[in-house]
Chains A and B, each alone.
Chain A
């Protein structure tokens, strides 16, 4: 149910801004309605209060009327007993006062018009009678006055009293009714106000929930999708029901993901093609180069006849350059095959001692040529290793070759030992050393420490990169420690028994 509401809000084809504005407007309208209803209730309560006050005044007026009627009778009776001018004046004055009260009542009471009309008629007759009584008294006809008083004024006064009593009772009954209806109105308006308040709060909460989740949900989904994209998973889409900015964002995200996936695939294909191309090309390059080297060697060996010393020397240089070129091509081939995932190790038992000796034999002439000491330090016994002998020899040849190449004076030492199930081989030189910043980068492809000074040394800068890959394929590590001006130590650590061939990273 809640989710359906969230989806419903999400599907509304309006912007986030418009949705928020609409929600706030709805809440504001509810608050305004709540205020209006409250005001209405207040007005109602006030009206009831005013009515009560009116009723109270009416009751007071009726009581006054009653009182006046009684007072009238009393004064008239007194005038009959002591018929002097002052008493008569007072009687007439009181009559006027009585009339005034009645006039006033006319504005107060509207409901009891019939009853009031009768009271008014009775009063007028009463005034008439009393006025005649006073006139009679003034003319000295006291007996006639008393007669009139007894026969007419008395009963009229009684009737007036009854009428006013009736009015008071009616007004009091009205008041009770009014109090009750005021209370009922209060209770009703209280429920209306409370109801509207609860309704507003509820609506605000529901709208807040629905709108915020219609925003947060897609954001969370897209965030999760982005995390998967960052992890390299381009397949899959994020589906949000939103038809607002977030919907557009999700659509763009999906589009981006697809594009990235496509680009990634293209890149992968391109990279594979490149590696394949490099592998093919370097293989193709090697064939004619092999022919060149072969012919040169045959010529040098006198297969095609006697060769003058000068030409023999030139041929030696042709061969040296050719071998150098062959080395470069082999490096490129190795690396491209590693990148194409085609380089696998041929695991077999090997003797580390034999590898070290073979490397020593191969590199000693180079060291001697530069008047460097090349020494080997091996423990008396070494366990048989398992790995790709040819590749491991390639690694060690590269390290020792580099050491000799970059060292101008001093020595190059090869140390090997077996420790904790691993072979540790170190090649130490007294060369120029490698700056700390370069020490990691030299294991990257096409990188040479300080290219300006090493350019003359030749090499494509691939040897260490290949060595690293080979060592890593064996499940080992290669590293360097070096201090500028003091020399470098390259160390290789590999499991003595590399049983499983690891994937190249």
Chain B
């Protein structure tokens, strides 16, 4: 069975790159553009891993992470934060909010894929 990854990302190109990358690597991807959608999709779809952009319109990645962590079904789902280079201290805040790991923007698709594979080894 293919691993299912939820991507919460508002930027079109970033979604496309990650979609193409992960689809090519054999993962199933579901996408959310806003934090609220992200929470809803996570709860209904129960993904195996969540890629969480921090800077989102509306509620931000930290808040989304905190909400997901409150859901017992999602408490153990790995969440990888995609933090912005521009705001120092994001990485620490992401971990504090409940993320398992973080990747700093600008990210290289190769590095992202490697990080995803750490949590979801290819079957």
A: residues with CB less than 8 A from B are 279, 283, 286-291, 293-295, 297-298, 301, 303-304, 326, 330, 333, 337, 343-346, 388, 390
In the bound complex, what is the Cα–Cα distance between A403 and B117 (angstroms)? Answer: 37
Instruction: Return the 3 tightest CB-CB contacts between A and B, nearest first.
Output: A291-B13, A294-B17, A290-B106
In the bound complex, what is the Cα–Cα distance between A109 and B85 (angstroms)? Answer: 126
Known contacts A289-B106, A290-B105, A303-B109; 12 further A-B pairs (Cβ under 8 A): A279-B86, A286-B106, A287-B13, A290-B13, A291-B14, A294-B13, A294-B109, A295-B13, A298-B24, A301-B109, A301-B110, A333-B86
B98-123 CB mask vs A (1 if < 8 Å, else 0) is 00000001111110000000000000
The A contact surface, by secondary structure, is helix
B75 contacts chain A at the CB level, 8 A cutoff = no
CB-CB contacts below 8 Å: B69-105 with A: 85-86, 88-89, 92, 105
In the bound complex, what is the Cα–Cα distance between A304 and B20 (angstroms)? Answer: 8
Q: Please name 28 pairs of A and B residues whose Cβ atoms are closer than 8 Å in the assembled complex, sorted by A.
A: A286-B105, A287-B11, A287-B13, A288-B13, A290-B106, A291-B13, A291-B17, A293-B106, A293-B108, A294-B13, A294-B14, A294-B17, A294-B107, A294-B108, A294-B109, A295-B17, A297-B108, A298-B17, A298-B21, A298-B24, A303-B20, A303-B21, A304-B20, A333-B86, A343-B88, A346-B89, A346-B92, A388-B88
Chain B residues closer than 8 Å to A290, beta-carbon distance = 13-14, 105-107
In the bound complex, what is the Cα–Cα distance between A357 and B35 (angstroms)? Answer: 39
Chain A residues closer than 8 Å to B17, beta-carbon distance = 291, 294-295, 298
Closest to B105 in A: A290
Closest to B112 in A: A294
Chain B residues closer than 8 Å to A293, beta-carbon distance = 106, 108
Partner among B88, B108, B109 whose Cβ is within 8 Å of the Cβ of A344: B88
Chain A residues closer than 8 Å to B21, beta-carbon distance = 298, 303
In the bound complex, what is the Cα–Cα distance between A339 and B34 (angstroms)? Answer: 33
Contact B86 A283 (CB under 8 A): yes
Chain A residues closer than 8 Å to B109, beta-carbon distance = 294, 297-298, 301, 303
Closest CB in chain B relative to A327 CB, distance in Å: 11
Chain B residues closer than 8 Å to A288, beta-carbon distance = 13
Closest to A279 in B: B86
Chain A residues closer than 8 Å to B92, beta-carbon distance = 346
B1-15 CB mask vs A (1 if < 8 Å, else 0) is 000000000010110
In the bound complex, what is the Cα–Cα distance between A33 and B108 (angstroms)? Answer: 102
Contact B106 A326 (CB under 8 A): yes
In the bound complex, what is the Cα–Cα distance between A148 and B17 (angstroms)? Answer: 174
Closest to B113 in A: A301
In the bound complex, what is the Cα–Cα distance between A297 and B109 (angstroms)? Answer: 7
Chain A residues closer than 8 Å to B110, beta-carbon distance = 297, 301
Contact A303 B89 (CB under 8 A): no
Chain B residues closer than 8 Å to A289, beta-carbon distance = 106
In the bound complex, what is the Cα–Cα distance between A344 and B14 (angstroms)? Answer: 28
Closest CB in chain B relative to A379 CB, distance in Å: 30
In the bound complex, what is the Cα–Cα distance between A286 and B84 (angstroms)? Answer: 11
Q: Which of A288, A290, A326 has the most CB atoms of chain B within a 10 A radius of its CB?
A: A290
Chain A residues closer than 8 Å to B105, beta-carbon distance = 286, 290
Closest CB in chain A relative to B25 CB, distance in Å: 9
Chain B residues closer than 8 Å to A304, beta-carbon distance = 20
Closest to A295 in B: B17
Contact A346 B86 (CB under 8 A): no
Chain B residues closer than 8 Å to A297, beta-carbon distance = 108-110
Closest CB in chain B relative to A287 CB, distance in Å: 7
Chain B residues closer than 8 Å to A344, beta-carbon distance = 88-89
Closest CB in chain A relative to B93 CB, distance in Å: 10
Closest to A330 in B: B85
Closest to A290 in B: B106
Closest to A303 in B: B24
Chain B residues closer than 8 Å to A326, beta-carbon distance = 106
Partner among A291, A303, A346 whose Cβ is within 8 Å of the Cβ of B88: A346
In the bound complex, what is the Cα–Cα distance between A333 and B13 (angstroms)? Answer: 22
Closest CB in chain A relative to B27 CB, distance in Å: 13
Chain B residues closer than 8 Å to A301, beta-carbon distance = 109-110
In the bound complex, what is the Cα–Cα distance between A288 and B62 (angstroms)? Answer: 24
Closest CB in chain B relative to A386 CB, distance in Å: 15
In the bound complex, what is the Cα–Cα distance between A329 and B106 (angstroms)? Answer: 12
Chain A residues closer than 8 Å to B85, beta-carbon distance = 286, 330
Closest CB in chain B relative to A187 CB, distance in Å: 97
Chain B residues closer than 8 Å to A343, beta-carbon distance = 88
Contact A298 B86 (CB under 8 A): no
Chain A residues closer than 8 Å to B11, beta-carbon distance = 287
Chain B residues closer than 8 Å to A286, beta-carbon distance = 85-86, 105-106
